[in-house]
Chain A
Amino acid sequence: MNRAAIDLWVGVFVAVGLGAILFLALKVGNLLTLDRTPSYRVEASFDNIGGLKLRSPVKAAGVVVGRVESIKLDPKTYAAVVTMRIDRDYSFSKDTIASINTSGLLGEVYIGLDAGGDTAMLNDGDHIAKTQSAVVIEKLISQFLFDKASQGGAGK
């Protein structure tokens, strides 16, 4: 095998191999396009974020418009402060409601945005005022049992 032929084949091999890695990263994994598109930051505080994690999606009407960038605890209010990055193509009104939902009963946790009617839009660094915390199943069940118990007691 002469050197030119070897170099050619090795070049092809390396190119195809790197292409395979790229294919895996882009088509198979979810290398985020959002990482490359311009985005702006928005904050929101929740009493309970439930199973929300870093990089969880932010959706509006079921469409992914952003990702959770960081989750911190406010030392004064003991509320969870979530910072999310939203695609610049989408603007939301200042009175948008951010709620923590679960897709399906046991699916992944995400932040849902319901746009309001305010003409003023959220800017980079703004804080979403109205939020709805995650529904924690245990609290729901104990609430239900408590209500049932008090109903039964009142009924007797």
Chain B
Amino acid sequence: MSDLALALRRLGGTVTGGVARLGYMARFLGAILWQTPMAFRRLHLTVREIYFSGVLSLVIILMSGLFVGMVLALQGYEVLQRYGAQEQLGLVVALSLVRELAPVIGGLLFASRAGSAITAEIGLMKATEQLSAMEMMAVDPIARVVAPRFWAGVVSMPLLAALFSAFGIFGGYLIGVRMIEIDAGAFWGQMQAGVKVWPDITNGVIKSIVFGAAVSLIAVLEGYDAKPTAEGVSSATTRTVVISSLAILALDFVLTAFMFRGVGL
């Protein structure tokens, strides 16, 4: 068989494989949702996972938010002042963060820090037969191990994204008002006039919730499905980060196109 035909065959296989995986993912999500009430009966499990996913991600999120906000202010100022529109800097920084950068960059950071940790943890539990042991003790591992981690991600992401935005705006303020010495009143005033709760902030929050769900689902799925060897766990962890990142960017495009189509309200 010619190389081209072989390559096409492989491509077709990958596509069908990907679609099948999507279906499997949907079924897995269904299982998680089904087990959710039982998982919440042990609320402290979810609280514990919020600590490990959310609280421990704070440092990287806040620092990144600060730096991104500062860079936005620098770059934004450089461009705006060509048109004499420096006063709009606050608006530019705030809108960029709240609409796009906080959910997306926050999501990518969350995927690489918390998502990979979740995958590794679940994969390791599988490799050391802890999940099997749980099954044999008549406790569904999805209710006890998977669902709390999933919901912890869904809850943590919007909070982390909001903190990213807040610190980013503060960073923008530091550079814009303190360093470049734009008028503070103009900075905040233009921001408040231009950033609207609906659609800007609400859509930003919706995006971060969707990204949180996507990253968490991929992370728990890859961990649950990992081959129970050291190599299997490590490749599952890598896959989590890669697939989550791609999913975030793709979903971002879809959501943005849908949300900000006819803005001008």
Contacts and interface: CB of A to CB of B under 8 A. Distances in A.
A18 B94 contact: no
Interface string A20-35: 1101110111110000
Given A13-B55, A20-B163, A25-B201, A30 B47 contact: no
Interface stretch (A2-10, A73-81, A126-134, A141-149): A2-10
Given A10-B51, A20-B163, 17 more contacts: A1-B51, A3-B48, A7-B44, A7-B47, A10-B48, A13-B156, A17-B158, A23-B162, A23-B166, A24-B201, A27-B192, A28-B98, A29-B192, A29-B195, A29-B201, A31-B197, A53-B265
B192 A30 contact: yes
B10 interface: no
Contacts of A20: 159, 162-163, 165-166
A16 interface: yes
Contacts of B196: 29-30
Contacts, number: 82
4 shortest A-B CB distances, which residue pairs? A17-B159, A20-B162, A20-B166, A21-B162
A6 B200 CA distance: 33
A114 B155 CA distance: 49
B192 A24 contact: no
B264 A17 contact: no
B195 A28 contact: yes
Contacts of B98: 24, 28
Nearest to A6: B51
A25 B162 CA distance: 10
A31 to B, nearest CB: 5
Contacts of B165: 20, 24, 28
Interface residues of B, number: 32
A59 to B, nearest CB: 13
A1 B191 CA distance: 42
A14 interface: yes
Interface string B44-82: 100110110011001000000000000000000000000
A12 B196 CA distance: 27
Contacts of A54: 265
What does DSSP make chain B's interface, helix, strand, loop or mixed?
A: helix
A55 interface: yes
Contacts of B177: none
B159 A14 contact: yes
Contacts of B163: 16-17, 20
Interface in B152-189: 155-156, 158-160, 162-163, 165-166, 169, 188
B93 to A, nearest CB: 10
A15 to B, nearest CB: 10
Contacts of B47: 6-7, 10
A2 B22 CA distance: 38
B1 interface: no
A1 B47 CA distance: 13
Contacts of A31: 197
B159 A13 contact: yes
Looking at A16, A24, A30, A53, the one whose CB has the most chain B CB atoms below 10 A away is: A24
Contact of A17 (B44, B162, B195): B162
A29 B158 contact: no
B6 interface: no
